[in-house]
Chains A and B, each alone.
Chain A
Amino acid sequence: DAKTTQPNSMESNEEEPVHLPCNHSTISGTDYIHWYRQLPSQGPEYVIHGLTSNVNNRMASLAIAEDRKSSTLILHRATLRDAAVYYCIGNGGSNYKLTFGKGTLLTVNP
């Protein structure tokens, strides 16, 4: 699995967009990029994943660089409920395991 690097923490204001960066320079051509988030006292929650193209779902958008060495998770309008630790994971192969780093702690100010 690819090693990923994320900022330890970020801060945003409510109802503003948030861009969470992730570097994964060692990613292989077949590794998917997954994002999970973990709210306090809960298990991780799937956010989004992609391979090469940008992806959108009801929770967020994922912008993947053309060289795939970095990606950005975009929350279009942050709410207080989005305050969580966000994990970026490079995952591949048939053995589906997730290699979590320390993630980015997102604080959302009212």
Chain B
Amino acid sequence: ETGVTQSPTHLIKTRGQQVTLRCSSQSGHNTVSWYQQALGQGPQFIFQYYREEENGRGNFPPRFSGLQFPNYSSELNVNALELDDSALYLCASSLPRANTEAFFGQGTRLTVV
């Protein structure tokens, strides 16, 4: 186990609803990144948080937003859910350097119906 925990593990929501996913990072890691993984695809970078500030964003609309807390845990919020938002959402914690490893959680499987 990596020490990165995500909750919930599975979730079913209705189109148009809002959802909040949670992530507890590995001890000592102040950087948290979120990824979306559609079936059969590699994970796609949503955004990254460093010291409670957004520190980079991928090609995702503003209805995807996040927070990072003083203990470095993080939330991903998605508003106005669409069917295409159905995916595995992964959280990764790391130090803010390119020459270090990221630790991923098991993910939250979101199904939008």
Q: Closest approach, in angstroms, between the C-beta of B58 and any C-beta of chain A?
A: 7
B70 at the interface (CB under 8 A from A): no
Instruction: State whether the Cβ of B7 lies closer than 8 Å to any Cβ in chain A.
Output: no
Query: What is the count of residue pairs linking A and B with beta-carbon distances less than 8 angstroms?
Result: 70
Say if the beta carbon of B106 comes within 8 Å of chain A: yes
Question: What size tier do the contact residues of chain A reach?
Answer: 20 to 34
B81: Cβ under 8 A from any A Cβ? no
Known: A97-B48, A98-B43, A98-B45. Contact between A45 and B58, CB under 8 A? no
**A91 nearest in chain B by CB position:** B98
* B99–A97 touching, CB < 8 Å: no
**C-beta contact mask, A29-51 vs B, less than 8 Å → 1, else 0?**
01110101000001111100101
Does residue B107 face the partner (Cβ distance < 8 Å to A)?
yes
B79 at the interface (CB under 8 A from A): no
The segment from A14-22, A74-82, A99-107 that touches chain B is A99-107
Which range contains the number of B residues in contact with the other chain? 20 to 34
Flag B22-59 by CB within 8 Å of A: 1 or 0 each.
00000000010101000001111100100000011010
Q: Inside 8 A of B43's CB, which chain A residues have their CB?
A: 44, 98, 100
The 8 A CB mask of A83-110 against B (1 = contact, 0 = none) is: 0010100011111111111110000000
Beyond contacts A49-B101, A96-B94, A96-B96: 8 other A-B pairs, Cβ-Cβ < 8 A, are: A30-B98, A43-B4, A43-B90, A44-B43, A94-B97, A96-B33, A99-B45, A100-B42
Residues of chain B at the chain A interface (Cβ within 8 Å): 2, 4, 31, 33, 35, 41-45, 48, 55-56, 58, 90, 92, 94-107
Contact sample, A vs B, 12 pairs, CB 8 Å cutoff = A31-B98, A32-B99, A45-B2, A46-B102, A49-B101, A91-B98, A96-B96, A97-B58, A98-B92, A98-B102, A99-B45, A101-B42
